[in-house]
Amino acid sequence: MEIRDKIYIDGSWVTPGTSEMIDVINSGDEEVFAKVARGSSQDVDKAVSAARNAFESWSRTSIDERTKYLSRINEGIVARMMDIATVISKEVGTPFMLSQLIQVGLPQTTFASMEQVAKEVEFEDHIGNSLILKEAVGVVAAITPWNYPLHQIAAKVAPALLAGCTVVLKPAELAPINAFMLADIIDEVGLPPGVFNLVNGPGTEIGEAMVKSPGIDMISFTGSTEVGKKIGALAAQDIKRVALELGGKSATVILEDANLSSAISGGLFMCYLNSGQTCIAQTRMLVHRSKLQEVEERVAAETATYTVGDPFDAMTRVGPLVSAKQRDRVKEYIKIGESEGAKIVTGGAENPEGLDKGFYVKPTVFTNVNNSMRIAQEEIFGPVLSIIPFDSEEEAIKIANDSPYGLSGAVWAGDKDHAIEVAKQIRTGQVEVNGGAFNALAPFGGYKKSGHGRELGKYGVEDFLEIKSLQL
């Protein structure tokens, strides 16, 4: 069993102010596989003070020097790829191959991209007699989720450090080990003391203390919309900048002339990825009514190929959910869907056969879904798909936009230009067009209750910059 009894403050592993430890559960077998230190609000104060003291010198280092540190952190992640992927598969339940490609591959790409991104950000500009400067916002509180834990840490820490900010990180309680491994790497590369700090613990204490701290200039949060609302309200008391990446209820819009085979395969992959524990999961599939029966049959057949099981089994395509609480929540939504009158095409709330240990849920597909139903409006965060028919393109766009969220989506059409025209009318932060791949350098973020601000690439760096005008 791995024991992490210290937290990382001011360039050193230190004993926290409480001796309490937090169990980390293996989502595949429900066994405790690690214990981590639980910090306190006093530890937050120490970490913020360290970050505050380090800010002036770090913000004045050259861009080249900052990118060299980030490149060395990337090298450290690459060297530990298998170990980190193994840990995240245990913490979150992601199938091991996908952990390597996504859970470690994406954060590695983010750190590696900073050298190029640094060349794309205009840190200085001229307008008439004014010199426009973009300067680091200050000390950043990064509060990250459990579903893509290291990716979300990298999406905040890498651009913040490149911008010249210092960071205090609170990783997710359910998946913290990967953050400690990143702190090991940061310590080894010799990042100056106080530039990066890690305080682990519950959001109700550690996260709130960070948000309220007078030494914090900006909060970057990824998580639920409800928690995001609370963070925004607390931060507003001190007029702190807040970047929020929150929930989603994305739609796959399959137009009448689309290639059904490609559209269904793409839509199901984006629904079941990471067991549906993905904020951009495409959990609504909008299909022309004339194609409804065919789509139902194809979806049922293809869902059967999404084998549920141990994330370390090479045949597994859908691993467990992160916790018993999350598993029970998803199963309750499946029951809600049935009570609302939706019809189960495949799946259901029963345990997958032969998987009595672990937090497993069957990939479940509903049809006869009205977009006003709870299963079509609320983020379930599990492998649950709602098939919703439409009679016209205009209705499809209306249904796609009839959501409190606006994070992602997809449009499939026989003609790419036609798909782009429809995608332009969908009110979300990103839209896949005929299966366009995720771009780790493109801006990522949402409309409406999906949050505000953008991560990744040059736009992610600019979120951590203040703008100053010098009148010459």
Please give the positions annotated as active site.
245, 279
Tally DSSP H helices, then E strands, for the chain: 16, 23
**Burial class for 183, CB neighbours closer than 10 Å (0-12, 13-18, 19+):** buried
Residue pair 254/412 in contact (Cβ under 8 Å)? The answer is yes
| DSSP at 340 | T
Beta-bridge mates of residue 167: 140, 196
Helical (H) or strand (E) element with 230: helix 225-236
Q: Please, how many CA atoms are within 13 Å of residue 415, restricted to the half-sphere of its CB? A: 4
- Only one residue has tokens 């029966």, namely 293
Burial of 13 (0-12, 13-18, 19+ CB in 10 A): middle
Which residues are 243's β-sheet partners? Answer: 220
Q: Is residue 358 left, alpha or beta, with left meaning phi > 0 and alpha meaning psi from -120 to 50? A: left
For 6, how many CA atoms within 13 A lie in the half-sphere containing its CB?
12
What is the rounded CA–CA span in Å between residue 9 and residue 267?
43
**Farthest-apart Cα atoms in the chain, separation:** 73
Coil, strand or helix at 413: coil
Tokens 């100056």, located at residue:
192
Evaluate whether 168 touches 46 at the Cβ level (below 8 Å). Answer: no
Cα–Cα distance list, 399 to 90, 151, 291, 403 (Å): 37, 31, 17, 8
Q: What is the DSSP letter of 29?
A: T
Residues whose CB is less than 8 angstroms from the CB of residue 222 and which lie 6 or more positions away in sequence, other chains included: 143, 144, 145, 152, 155, 156, 244, 245, 246, 279
Strands 32-37, 21-25: pairing is antiparallel
Q: Tell me, rounded to whole angstroms, the distance of Cα 231 from its chain centroid.
A: 17
